[in-house]
Amino acid sequence: MIDTRTAPVTVDATTGTATTVAIQRQVAAPAIRVDGLTKRFGTDGPVVLDDITLSIEPGEFVCLLGASGCGKSTLLNIIAGLEHPTSGTVTVTSGSAAVMFQESALFPWLTAGRNVELALKLRGVPRAERPGQALELLDLVNLADAAHKRPHELSGGMRQRVALARSLAQDRKVLLMDEPFAALDAITRDLLHEELERIWRETGRTIVFVTHNVREAARLGQRVLLMSSRPGRIANEWRLADTGPRRIESPEVSRLSIEITEQLRQEIRRNAH
């Protein structure tokens, strides 16, 4: 059985947003349900994920945090359907999920606009509607002017934003993100946090965000799940009252980061024999 002690950390509730979000959450069925999920590589390889059970509400922003080798990316890949569990079940209520990776993986022979259009095409959007929709999606990430540019002409941050627009083009209720900002510099990452949060609020997507960056998790998540390594289990979770956008340098994020880091280090220490 997994250990899900809940250590709630509250962030001062000053606005009414928290309650409205909470009401929506009580009504709907979970967006993602993971039940007794175990994953091992090969028939008698090491257990990567051990009996993980969790449920993610529609519209929730969940950060999956852990040190290297805790299987957080594997868990995300299984939810995405890219890998298969050894035992247990994973249900994505809306069908399938959009995925965004650490590398933008834009198609280098297509312009930014065409990259988004390709996602629309694979979704079955009629040809005539694609350019307009692609431009709207690029505008959502503030890159409408860069639609004609090719990936190599864009900076790393811009490429990730095009990749984000491309994942949004899939029009799935669930967006899975695997360390999407890990390769970016701190200034760019800070802006992308703000961008992603705004898009999350505007589009109401359910987001599962994998990261090894504690502050990033504390900055973005409504709920932070800490994973232990070898085997990967959910070690702890923190829920944050949603009080609107917060800054990475804010005291509330710092306080939560300190607490999470403390426990993360405990989990890492357990691996020293």
**Binding site residues, another protein, CB under 8 A:** 6, 8-14, 18, 21-22, 25-26, 80, 82, 96, 98-99, 101, 103, 105, 107-109, 118-119, 121-123, 142-143, 146, 150-158, 166, 170, 187-188, 191, 194-195, 198, 222, 239-242, 244-247, 250-252, 255
Q: Which is nearer to another protein, 130 or 229 (CB)?
A: 130
Q: Which is nearer to another protein, 178 or 267 (CB)?
A: 178
At its nearest, how many Å lie between another protein and the CB of residue 80?
7
Q: Where are the alpha helices (DSSP H) in 83-153?
A: 112-123, 130-140
Q: Which is nearer to another protein, 198 or 270 (CB)?
A: 198
Q: Tokens representing 157?
A: 């941050």
Q: Which is nearer to another protein, 40 or 150 (CB)?
A: 150
At its nearest, how many Å lie between another protein and the CB of residue 46?
23
CB atoms within 10 A of CB 107: 12
At its nearest, how many Å lie between another protein and the CB of residue 230?
25
At its nearest, how many Å lie between another protein and the CB of residue 105?
4
CB atoms within 10 A of CB 190: 17
Helix H or strand E segment including 33: strand 32-40
Helix H or strand E segment including 109: none
Q: Cβ distance 243 to 13 under 8 Å?
A: yes
Q: Cβ distance 154 to 112 under 8 Å?
A: yes
